């Protein structure tokens, strides 16, 4: 997915932004007025993602604040007044209880809101204040912060890597990482998730890359940037995976050891023999089902523990926290782990918000408003809407937005971007643009992926994902407090209606702007270009920007650029 889809689209977005010196809204309006909805659609998707992405940062803040104590609050189950362990924690685990009950105070289902959790609301407010103060002064200040947010995680990953590979069970986790499951590759949802992951890792189809490209010097070697960033991204992903699976292997081995110890203690008739772990494993391996049942023997499988490793939020807040508890000096590991997650999250949120703000500032109407005021207003709106995710059902809503707001919409926008640049703007013209800017003419790999492979792959993923979503309705994992575990349940009909509205809100601008401009209900004007000039404060040939689109250029704008070339 990275080679056939991610890298080609990466160069398209970065190159077209650098060439035209415009944000997402301005680029697609310039290529063709009928495509103006693509910038609005990208901005809409970015808005939805910004809403819930900062909630993940919020949870990291809450865990970070709770990491400055020993023992860690998720290291043991709380007890009732009579001295017994809380049943919900006893049936689940210490880390699962802290996540679902202490942190989220989760509702039984999406039908019950559960009210706002004040401690999460305060952390959300803190997260948005930090993002606001970083972004408010523009790309110059936020760019400096990114130096830290991009480098600090490498330091933490290296520390965890050195510690992780020395832990018992690390080799089993790494072996599990490189053991493919071919049957999973036949599921369209896996390919959709892979495509969306590529989009997230690069920031594709959000409009952020186009915005960042517009700030580049006109002769910047964007091809070199794409290759270097792609290689760095791939190496980092592999490196991080090694750390994650080493820790998962350690956690799985710890669970197996606990299972064996519990089995030895509770097995009737053999508990007094004090048999060793390896002997117990041989007994379980050679015993039939009746023997296991009669003697109360527990079948402790390392492979089963590895297969049950959590994903998404559970990976960071349940699995990793459980592994951290097992490490000597657990508070230290917890602090640097959540500092790393905060660095990654804030860095990504800066890019997401910059892409959205760039689109807004490219409109002439908003250039009269000071950057700080408009940024503050956007952050305030996002905070207010984000309160939905601080309720008892907040995690369920976050999963809904993550599944619908940024999957189908992103793939469709990316597909249309490919078509717009290759077949409307023209692949020969874009190739020449790259050559003029970098001195490098894209060869066979770029031409084949741009014009054929990437659009074909994205079309197949998009169609098959929609079909399978209809055939097999999506579900969410609700928390069963009585059983101490999650259960799969289909979304209620009213929630699915909201999901459809979210998807339609992401893609409707594509068709709405097309129809309005096709029938001349919406005129093309230069407000976008004027806003971009103020935003970038750069000097380029505007005639070169607009290509063949019939848009009149103010004479003073042309003279300004001619004098400063």
Residues tagged in the binding site annotation for Na(+): 201, 233, 344, 348
Binding residues: 201, 233, 344, 348
For residues 184 and 465, give the distance between their C-alpha atoms in angstroms, rounded to a whole number.
14
Q: By three-state DSSP, how is residue 255 classified?
A: helix
- Torsion angles phi and psi, residue 79, rounded to 5: -120, 155
For residues 194 and 386, give the distance between their C-alpha atoms in angstroms, rounded to a whole number.
26
For residues 561 and 563, give the distance between their C-alpha atoms in angstroms, rounded to a whole number.
5
Pair type for strands 475-480 and 485-490:
antiparallel
Q: Are 359 and 23 in contact (CB under 8 A)?
A: yes
Contacts of 362 (CB under 8 A, 6+ apart): 22, 23, 25, 26, 528, 531, 532, 535
Alpha carbon of residue 536 to chain centroid: 28
Residue found under tokens 């609050």 = 73
For residues 242 and 163, give the distance between their C-alpha atoms in angstroms, rounded to a whole number.
12
138 Rama sector, left if φ>0, alpha if ψ -120 to 50, beta otherwise: left
Closest to 220 in 3D by CA, of 40, 366, 30, 14: 14
DSSP 430-442: HHHHHHHHHS---
Element holding 489 (H helix, E strand): strand 485-490
Q: What DSSP designation does 114 have?
A: -
| Token reading at 69 | 């104590």
For residues 26 and 35, give the distance between their C-alpha atoms in angstroms, rounded to a whole number.
10
Contacts of 324 (CB under 8 A, 6+ apart): 72, 330, 333, 334, 337
Rg, C-alpha atoms of the chain: 26
For residues 490 and 473, give the distance between their C-alpha atoms in angstroms, rounded to a whole number.
7
Closest to 449 in 3D by CA, of 1, 4, 2: 4
- Specify the long-range contacts of residues 441-445, CB closer than 8 Å, at least 24 apart: 442/11, 442/223
DSSP 404-449: HTTTHHHHHHHHHHHHIIIIIIIHHHHHHHHHHHHS----HHHHHI
Question: In terms of DSSP H, where are the helices of 207-326?
Answer: 208-214, 222-266, 277-286, 289-295, 302-307, 313-314, 320-325
For residues 484 and 472, give the distance between their C-alpha atoms in angstroms, rounded to a whole number.
26
């Amino acid at each position: 997915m990275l080679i056939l889809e991610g890298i080609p689209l990466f160069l398209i977005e970065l190159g077209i932004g650098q060439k035209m010196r415009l944000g997402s809204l301005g680029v697609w309006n310039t290529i063709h007025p009928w495509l103006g909805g693509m910038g609005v659609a990208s901005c809409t998707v970015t808005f939805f993602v910004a809403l819930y992405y900062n909630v993940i940062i919020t949870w990291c803040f809450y865990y970070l604040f709770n990491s400055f104590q020993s023992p860690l609050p998720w290291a043991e189950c709380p007890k009732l007044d009579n001295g017994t362990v809380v049943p919900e924690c006893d049936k689940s685990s210490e880390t699962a209880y802290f996540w679902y009950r202490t942190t989220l105070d989760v509702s039984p289902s999406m039908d019950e809101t559960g009210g706002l959790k004040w401690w999460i609301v305060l952390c959300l407010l803190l997260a948005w204040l930090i993002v606001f103060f970083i972004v408010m002064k523009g790309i110059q200040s936020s760019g400096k912060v990114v130096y830290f947010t991009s480098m600090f995680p490498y330091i933490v990953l290296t520390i965890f890597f050195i510690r992780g590979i020395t832990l018992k069970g690390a080799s089993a986790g790494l072996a599990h990482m490189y053991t493919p499951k071919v049957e999973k590759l036949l599921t369209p949802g896996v390919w959709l998730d892979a495509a969306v992951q590529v989009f997230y890792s690069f920031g594709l189809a959000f409009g952020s890359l186009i915005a960042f490209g517009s700030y580049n010097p006109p002769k910047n070697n964007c091809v070199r940037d794409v290759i270097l960033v792609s290689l760095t991204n791939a190496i980092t992903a592999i490196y991080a995976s090694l750390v994650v699976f080493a820790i998962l292997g350690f956690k799985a081995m710890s669970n197996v050891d606990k299972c064996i110890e519990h089995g030895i203690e509770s097995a009737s008739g053999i508990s007094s023999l004090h048999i060793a772990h390896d002997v117990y494993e041989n007994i379980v391996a050679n015993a039939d089902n009746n023997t296991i049942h009669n003697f109360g023997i527990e079948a402790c499988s390392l492979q089963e523990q590895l297969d049950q490793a959590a994903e998404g939020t559970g990976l960071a807040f349940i699995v990793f926290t459980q592994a951290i508890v097992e490490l000597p000096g657990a508070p230290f590991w917890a602090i640097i782990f959540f500092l790393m997650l905060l660095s990654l999250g804030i860095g990504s949120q800066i890019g997401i918000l910059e892409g959205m703000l760039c689109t807004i500032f490219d409109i002439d109407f908003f250039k009269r408003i000071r950057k700080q005021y408009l940024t503050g207003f956007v952050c305030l709106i996002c905070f207010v809407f984000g309160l939905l995710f601080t309720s008892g059902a907040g995690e369920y809503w976050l999963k809904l937005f993550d599944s619908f707001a940024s999957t189908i919409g992103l793939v469709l926008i990316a597909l249309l971007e490919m078509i717009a640049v290759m077949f409307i703007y023209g692949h020969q013209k874009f190739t020449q643009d790259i050559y003029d800017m970098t001195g490098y003419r894209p060869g066979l790999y770029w031409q084949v992926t741009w014009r054929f492979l990437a659009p074909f792959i994205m079309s197949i993923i998009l169609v098959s994902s929609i079909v399978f979503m209809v055939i097999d309705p999506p579900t969410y994992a609700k928390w069963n407090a009585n059983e101490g575990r999650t259960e799969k349940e289909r979304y209620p009909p009213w929630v699915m209606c909201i999901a459809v509205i979210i998807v339609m809100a992401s893609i409707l601008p594509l068709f709405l702007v097309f129809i309005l401009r096709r029938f001349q209900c919406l005129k093309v004007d230069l407000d976008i270009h004027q806003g971009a000039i103020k935003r970038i404060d750069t000097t380029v040939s505007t005639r070169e920007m607009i290509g063949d689109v019939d848009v009149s250029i103010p004479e003073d704008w042309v003279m300004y650029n001619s004098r400063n070339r």
